[in-house]
Structure 1
């Protein structure tokens, strides 16, 4: 990143750097903290955007501005840019679909969904699956799976 910063300054360029984030909780807004190991790289960036997948509208992605060094934030939590992925010839592109609040595209859990997920986790545990395997299959954080199993074993339910 330092070398890219030097090139950017020397040649007056804008450079786009792409990074992948680890698994995240789809019920929470995207923040800088979601970059985990890449968070330090964010210190070198002048601005940063994240692409989130809508949990309420199939095929919809949203772009959110998560950092801006100079100027004001236009595409934050209250005004994310909605897009859908379209294949045009041999290329993929985003088709702009308007703006919306990020909260409208986050996963909303109700009590029944939570109980169903806990039951599925405990069933997989009883079948002998490891905590990591259960975490991968259910898309629930490793620590949350571990906590639930520990509580289950302590209560003896």
Structure 2
């Protein structure tokens, strides 16, 4: 079993930075040490407050989703139309569903979203040319909020 401090350190890094490369298991030991020291500090703080972290066993594997739909919302002022974010073929799609008919509005990877978000943040005029960029960024927010990044390939 992995050490509690490593599990905590990986969780702290992921909470702060998101699921970024290099992934924890790809990182060399020396690079992980700074985050481990932060985890040790947090463990001491918790201990001072009477809280102790105890590993109770191996992690339970995450169940495979039974549906490709990550989130679904009714489209404003269109009671018969839903907009869904789905994981499909290693990517994500924004899909409008009206009367049981699916219309894929866009498909993207999380790498695409990160590049496009960078365009927005830097004020690059190219961001204004990307069709439905707001939907893409909103979909990515939901994907991360619901911890579904790995469902669509994580990229």
TM-score computed with the length of structure 2 as normaliser:
0.28
Structure ranking higher in helix proportion: 2
TM-score computed with the length of structure 1 as normaliser:
0.28
